[in-house]
Amino acid sequence: MQIPVIQKVLAANDLIAEELRAQFENAGLFVVNLLGSPGAGKTSLLERTLERAGGMKMGVIEGDLATSLDADRIARFGVPVVQINTGGGCHLDAAMVRKALGSLDASGLDVLLIENVGNLICPAEFDLGEACKAVVCSLPEGDDKVLKYPAIFSLASAVVLNKLDLLNYLNFNLPDFRRHLAELNPDAALVELSCLTGEGFDRWMEWLELEARKAREPGGGSRSPAQCRE
């Protein structure tokens, strides 16, 4: 009984997601669906990204079960931001994003960053109309995460490996992590950085700027998500 219903839910979600994708592409707006475990550093990545946004105009949609803690952190940067609270829901869906866009002035934005609920599993299944999915993973989570959560890593256009500053205090095998990702998803851009020290952050900003520029080019938005890679 359960599976057909879930397929129907996913099909309904995909219709709304395609609507959103067309809307984003027409506006030349580059949209990233940011995924990762609780505490991987998704909000910290957004904070550092907004600090360095330069000429790029950015907006943020925050997803959490409860609280507006993350949107409060983002609001301090003076950018358009909306908090979605899912109640108990384990992922964002396209209808939630469509509704949130009603409260967010996206006109003139270059980049919209959607921080999904902290969960390395369920959010992978729900298209939000984004151009790219980026997975944020952090060193303390361990070097086996690509092997143990392959679905989400296989869909990522970029993988941000955060908390590089802790490398000397952990038993984390960086070559193993790189190899697992290269074997599962060789097209994903791997960006190793620390949101705390800023190490490696230039590389993330370069990726974001390049993709945002592509989205603004005529016909740039019509590429498939798979092309949203280096």
Binding residues vs its own copies (CB under 8 A): 1-2, 5-6, 8-9, 37-39, 64-67, 69, 88, 90, 117-122, 125, 138, 140-142, 144-145, 147-151, 163, 165-166, 169, 171, 196
> How far is it, in rounded angstroms, from Cα 120 to Cα 37?
5
Q: Which is nearer to its own copies, 23 or 86 (CB)?
A: 86
> How far is it, in rounded angstroms, from Cα 159 to Cα 166?
18
State the nearest-atom distance from the C-beta of 64 to its own copies, in Å: 6
Contacts of 147 (CB under 8 A, 6+ apart): 180
Integer distance in angstroms from the first to the last C-alpha of the chain? 41
Helix axes 2-26, 94-101, angle to 10 degrees: 40
Nearest C-alpha neighbor of 130 from the set 228, 41, 59, 63:
228
State the nearest-atom distance from the C-beta of 108 to its own copies, in Å: 31
State the nearest-atom distance from the C-beta of 65 to its own copies, in Å: 6
Secondary element (H or E) of residue 146: helix 145-148
State the nearest-atom distance from the C-beta of 59 to its own copies, in Å: 22
Q: Which is nearer to its own copies, 147 or 190 (CB)?
A: 147
Q: Which is nearer to its own copies, 33 or 37 (CB)?
A: 37
Q: Which is nearer to its own copies, 118 or 129 (CB)?
A: 118
